[in-house]
Amino acid sequence: MNYKITALSAKEIAVKIKSKELSVLRVITSYLEHIEKLNPIVNAISDIRSTEDILSEAKEKDLQLKNGAKIGPLFGIPITIKESFLVKGLKTTNGDPMLRNYIANEDAELVKRLKKSGAIIIGMTNIALFSIDWQSTNFWNGQTNNPFDVSRVAGGSSGGSSVAVASNFSPLSLGADAGGSVRVPAHFCGICGFSTYRKLFI
């Protein structure tokens, strides 16, 4: 194996998992190690699931694959979620100081669909105060830094999600865009961001 797992695209990972060239556990372990090493520098991920829970889910998916279960298009793919979407058990602030300690007790519809497609939610990504700034800084999680130059901002308000992808913390990340909140940080971080107001079906 002469490639770095965290540098693979979501499609490449999905193909390698389906063919059993890579186990879901190995994929997830690689990402968790990478996040632990680099997130303190860029501050993209603001809340993360417990390692035990994530690894347990990865092992369960490997077992499903071994037993021939039908798998979805994002089976085993690690994904990060902007803090404006509810993810059960994780902080969902939407950039609001009044919600900085709020733990969601249910999943947003898009998160449910991601899970149904087989994705593994890693954690939440940092956002701008009130989700209305072209950088991703707030008083309780601090500033998300540009991975190519940490003295510069990452854009916003989905800066944490853009940095998560640009830093190879997850090959995909869910953001939200009303006036450039996905497109601006994607541009700042040199990645591709999609924004749509149509219904998303996965």
The reply to whether 181 belongs to the active site is yes
Q: CA torsion sign, 66 to 70 to 73 to 78?
A: negative
Residue entry with tokens 């950088």? 135
Q: Check if 131 is active-site.
A: no
Catalytic residue among 16, 61, 82, 115: 82
- Write down the catalytic residue from 23, 157, 167, 173: 157
Closest CA to 147 of 4, 47, 44: 44
Specify whether 50 is catalytic: no
Single out the catalytic residue among 84, 131, 162, 181: 181
Report the half-sphere exposure of 152 (CA within 13 A, side-chain side): 10
- The radius of gyration of the chain from alpha carbons, rounded to an integer in Å, stands at 16
Locate all alpha helices (DSSP H) within the chain, ordered by sequence: 10-18, 24-42, 51-66, 109-116, 159-166, 183-189
Residue whose token pair is 């107001």: 197
d(CA 168, CA 9): 9
Strand partners, 140: none
Q: Are strands 137-138 and 120-125 parallel, antiparallel or unpaired?
A: unpaired
Catalytic residue numbers, as ranges: 82, 157, 181
